[in-house]
Structure 1
Amino acid sequence: MVDTSDLHARGLRRRQKMFGEVDVAKRMAAAGDFGTPLQNIINAYVYGDVWERSGLSDQIRSLVMLGITAASSKPTEFRVHAKGALANGCTAAQVQDVLLLVAMYCGIPAAIETSKIAAEVFGEAPAEG
């Protein structure tokens, strides 16, 4: 088996920087024993490897993630990445433009719920229930 401890440590640091130590700890704990291997893969390869590449800035990478999660109707993950986008310096106007692209290319329903989430995260609308 390949030693991924360095990747894992880098990824964990990046996740904590983007989402906060408390939120990352909660997500990892919620995964339980069954989900721990997946969390390890996320830390090592998603955040320790792919997010560490130099081809895209953190802002652009966050905007891409918002487009992907909105287009694939993953509102829970969209909310997580919207918080990360805010931490990475993305603006509400940038996120709005991403969601307009999602609406045009993937259909308006794909952008409706995520637009509400983005407004909440970026402080432009009260959270619902």
Structure 2
Amino acid sequence: MGQEPITNTALSTLARITPKLAQLSEEVLFADIWQRKQLSPRDRSLITVAALVTLNRSEQLPFHLRLAQENGVSQSELSELFTHLAFYAGWPAAASAVTVAAQSFSE
């Protein structure tokens, strides 16, 4: 994950509405936390996607699904993650994530 990870419209919106939150996202979350050596970017992506599915934060999922794939997580692994989480996070949360993933995967 050497490139700027959040150079999309979400960051533009953050910067426009809450410049400090955008700065913290870039400088702390992605330039520090995501770069720590104790977990690989792939592992961090799996954890992040699982947390977003569990918390039903589907608005954040498209970005993190793309990032997960860039970090080496396959679509079949993400599919398995959704299936597994259906039993721990709830069926509706997993089904909602699958809907978002289907759209993200087709792009």
Tell me how many residue pairs correspond in the alignment: 107
Deviation at 1:45, TM superposition (A): 1.2
d(CA) in 2 for partners of 1:50 and 1:121? Answer: 25
**CA deviation profile, 1:44-67 (whole Å, cap 9, x unmatched):** 111111100111111111111110
Aligned to 2:33: 50
Q: Which residue of 2 aligns with 1:75?
A: 58
Partner of 2:71: 88
Counterparts of 1:47 and 1:31 in 2: how far apart (Å)?
14
2:84 is the counterpart of 1:101: yes
TM-score of the aligned structures, taking structure 1 as reference length:
0.73
Percent identity (aligned): 22
The answer to whether the 8 A contact 1:66-1:82 is kept is yes
Name structure 1 gaps, 5 residues minimum.
Answer: 1-10
Q: 1:15 aligns with which of 1, 5, 26?
A: 5
Find the counterpart in structure 1 of residue 46 from structure 2: 63
Instruction: Name the amino acid aligned to 1:15.
Output: P
Report deviation, 1:14: 3.9
Q: Out of 100-109 and 26-35, give the one that drifted further.
A: 26-35
Paired letter, 1:53: R
Q: CA RMSD in A?
A: 2.1
Which structure 2 residues correspond to residues 27-38 of structure 1 after superposition, within 5 A? Answer: 27-38=10-21
TM-score, normalisation: structure 2 = 0.86
| Displacement of 1:115 | 0.8
SS in 2 for 1:30: helix
SS of the equivalent of 1:82 reads: helix
User: Unaligned 5+ residue runs, structure 2?
Assistant: none
Q: In structure 2, what is the equivalent of residue 122 of structure 1?
A: 105
Greater C-alpha radius of gyration: 1
CA contact (8 A) 1:62 1:88 kept: yes
